[in-house]
Amino acid sequence: MRFIFKTDYEDDIRLFPHSGYVWTYGTLLVLLAIAPFVLSSYIMSQLVFVCIYATVGVGLMILSGFTGQASLGHAAFLAIGAYTAAYLQQYNVPFPVYFLAAGLLTGVIGALVGFPALRLQGIYLVIATISFAFIVEEILARWESVTHGNEGMRVKTLSLFGLMIPRDSPSFYFLCLGFLILTIIGTLNLLRSPTGRAFIAIRDSETAARSMGVNVALYKVKSFAISAAITGFAGALFAHKLTFISPEMFTLLLSIEFIIVILIGGTFSLHGAVLGAIFLVMIDPFLTYLKDDMPGIISGSASALGASKATASNIQSSVAAFASANGLKGAIYGFIIVVFVLFEPLGLYGRWLKIKLFFQLFPLYKRATFKRQKIYVKSERNR
């Protein structure tokens, strides 16, 4: 176990509290840097999705995890970023310009959504953001002169300073990874300065935040704007990764996926956003596996156990029907959320912290360390 001897206020400010952090994250960075030269192109493609989802996750974490404002509208923000990029690209606007435009426009729209959200709390805010997402989806489908409606839009290959960066090239991966790292560093900077603390104050007690001089309305709008802007930037990258965008890609299910990212990862940490993104992107290969291999395996083991050929093929077709049933994905998402909320409310990152502490304190780890306490003194009166 490591004891940190603090001798300077700087010790509580710096991003890496001790050399262990530098080693861990340094190693991780090296591994990520050599990944495209080692891993298969399929896994690299998944990694790019992890980067994009994690970026959105960090954005949503600022709003939901740190400011306490729930949002089911992040698919709409992502769509606005993606469509801005696709639209501007048609007019040969260079990448850095439309990338910035995607983020800034989404940020402004996020701030505008933030204003009506000021008067809403909890479930009502969720409903308001869902309706915003539906409005955006509808606009994308109807405003054909700009968005080409349900036909969707093609996104040309990204070109940066005359250099072509196709969507499965290592350069594109590094672009997404680099932006994710910048986002995380920016967010960490925010969290160690007055703005981030104001966000956390609003999350935990608006009344107290106000009486400490925090302009709650202003900071909520700021949080919405920052969160939306990050999502908009990610949207521009998302559009390039998909090369084709249409309104039905940005539905409620996508917003729920983002909620899963932060919920599964762990709601109070940026690690959670990344872990949650990894988890979510892994679900897809798992579903494909379920669809392709599971029927064969199950019927194979059934016939090995002595079932007749007819029953085995019967089983095979019913498992295949189940695995390719409509809405299975949604059901799996719902199941995962329920299981995590019930049994692992701190998410994957919380589990990691528990494992780490177990080894640090071994053999003195107490199971009750992370037990949640009931709080009896919290008042809702002064909301």
In angstroms, the Cα distances linking 52 to 5, 235, 238 are: 38, 8, 7
Pick the binder of another protein from 131, 150, 215, 288 (CB under 8 A). 215
- Show the tokens assigned to 57: 């996750």
Look at strands 163-165 and 158-160 and give their pairing: antiparallel
- Show the tokens assigned to 330: 């949604």
User: For another protein, which is the closer residue by CB, 309 or 378?
Assistant: 378
Peptide bond into 363 cis (omega under 30): yes
Query: Least distance (Å) from another protein to the CB of residue 2?
Result: 14
Pick the binder of another protein from 93, 139, 192, 354 (CB under 8 A). 192
- Show the tokens assigned to 212: 């400490």
- Show the tokens assigned to 63: 């709003």
3-state helix, strand, coil in the chain (%, to 5): 75, 5, 25
* Total residues binding another protein (CB under 8 A): 38
In angstroms, the Cα distances linking 95 to 26, 49, 88, 107 are: 30, 20, 9, 18
The interface with another protein within residues 323-382 (CB under 8 A) comprises 373, 375, 377-379, 381-382
Span from 86-94, 106-114, 193-201, 270-278 in contact with another protein (CB under 8 A): 193-201
Query: Least distance (Å) from another protein to the CB of residue 107?
Result: 11
User: For another protein, which is the closer residue by CB, 134 or 268?
Assistant: 268
Span from 123-131, 141-149, 156-164, 203-211 in contact with another protein (CB under 8 A): 203-211
SS3 state at 7: coil
Query: Least distance (Å) from another protein to the CB of residue 28?
Result: 21
Residue 7: exposure state from Cβ atoms within 10 A (0-12, 13-18, ≥19):
exposed
The interface with another protein within residues 11-40 (CB under 8 A) comprises 12-13
Rounded to the nearest 10 degrees, the angle between the axes of helix 270-292 and helix 309-323 is 150
Span from 10-18, 88-96, 110-118, 353-361 in contact with another protein (CB under 8 A): 10-18
The interface with another protein within residues 263-282 (CB under 8 A) comprises 268
Q: Do 219 and 114 touch, CB atoms closer than 8 A?
A: no
User: For another protein, which is the closer residue by CB, 194 or 330?
Assistant: 194
- Show the tokens assigned to 40: 């298969």
Element (H, E) at 164: strand 163-165
Query: Least distance (Å) from another protein to the CB of residue 338?
Result: 23
Query: Least distance (Å) from another protein to the CB of residue 317?
Result: 50
Torsional class of 269: left (φ above 0), alpha (ψ -120 to 50), beta (otherwise):
beta
The interface with another protein within residues 216-255 (CB under 8 A) comprises 216, 222
Span from 7-15, 21-29, 276-284, 319-327 in contact with another protein (CB under 8 A): 7-15
Query: Least distance (Å) from another protein to the CB of residue 67?
Result: 12
Pick the binder of another protein from 24, 207, 308, 360 (CB under 8 A). 207
What are the DSSP calls for 53-115, one per residue? HHHHHHHHIIIIIIS----S-HHHHHHHHHHHHHHHHHTT--HHHHHHHHHHHHHHHHHHHHH
Query: Least distance (Å) from another protein to the CB of residue 372?
Result: 8
The closest of 63, 83, 85 to 73, measured between CA atoms, is: 63
* Interaction between residue 197 and another protein (CB under 8 A): yes
* Interaction between residue 301 and another protein (CB under 8 A): no
- The three-point CA angle 71-258-236 to 5° equals 100
* Interaction between residue 291 and another protein (CB under 8 A): no
User: For another protein, which is the closer residue by CB, 69 or 299?
Assistant: 69
Pick the binder of another protein from 131, 193, 288, 311 (CB under 8 A). 193
Span from 76-84, 137-145, 210-218, 248-256 in contact with another protein (CB under 8 A): 210-218
Residues lying near another protein in the complex (CB under 8 A): 9-10, 12-13, 186, 189-190, 192-198, 200-201, 203-205, 207-216, 222, 268, 373, 375, 377-379, 381-382
